[in-house]
Chains A and B, each alone.
Chain A
């Protein structure tokens, strides 16, 4: 996300979408959707890490965009606005799914990074870490996923979450601290 050329196109399409007739609006919205569905999907996938859910949430995000189109200000840029809406939709999904969201060993092995790093960190530790991470609150998990796992700039994470950079740092710190405590309880000392 974030190419200037795309940004101008999206703003133009949105203006047309807001001002046009029903038919024009639908065509304009389709253009907007096709222009951005991949980047929105990719962003959501980074948060929920479930391709099927990311597809559903991409539709949900564009639905919310469609509903909130009157509030869009082209000066602010479509990308950031869409990301924030997508992040909220993903957080809502994580919150709703939380009771049954204990990661199964199968899911954890799918999520686990390939064993190319520190040989002292074996598969079992990686799986247990992923499981412990899945037990964190969604808001801590999202901040840590984006800032630590995906290594995105904290400013970008803050903008998507609608919080300050300091708040992102705090959430990441708390996530790591809670993760460490959980692992210690399991006898794993990182």
Chain B
């Protein structure tokens, strides 16, 4: 797809989807819902962002890259 095609696609997409207006605001006061959510949940420490599964996935990726270096461009493409 060349630059001209890209421009045409951008124009088409802009025609297909309307941009959201800057002055959009919620239709109701959301604070009561927020307060309900805070009081409903037990006061817990935030869950750690690095679960065992993330570690296993990262290790598998490192092994994959070490064994098959040719997979690096493919992985980068899908990032």
Q: Is the CB of B13 within 8 A of A144?
A: yes
Q: Which of A163-177 contact B (CB under 8 A)?
A: 163, 167, 170, 173, 176-177
Most chain A beta carbons < 10 A, residue from B13, B16, B45: B16
Q: List 17 A-B contacts (CB under 8 A).
A: A41-B26, A42-B20, A46-B19, A51-B24, A59-B30, A70-B45, A112-B18, A121-B12, A129-B15, A129-B16, A133-B13, A133-B17, A145-B17, A149-B13, A151-B19, A176-B13, A190-B9
A interface secondary structure, majority: helix
Q: Is the CB of B37 within 8 A of A180?
A: no
Interface check B31, CB cutoff 8 A = yes
Q: How many residues of B contact A (CB 8 A)?
A: 35
- Interchain Cβ contacts within 8 Å, total number: 125
Stretch at the interface among A6-14, A31-39, A76-84: A31-39
Q: Which of A63, A129, A163 contacts B37 (CB 8 A)?
A: A63
Which residues of chain B are within 8 angstroms of A51 by Cβ–Cβ distance?
A: 24, 26-27
Q: Hey, which bits of chain B sit against chain A, CB under 8 A?
A: 1, 5-6, 8-20, 22, 24-28, 30-31, 33-35, 37-38, 41, 44-46, 77, 79
Q: Which residues of A contact B (CB under 8 A)?
A: 26, 29-30, 33-34, 37-38, 41-42, 45-46, 49, 51, 54-55, 58-59, 62-63, 66-68, 70-71, 111-114, 117-118, 121, 125-127, 129-130, 133, 144-145, 148-151, 163, 167, 170, 173, 176-177, 179-180, 190
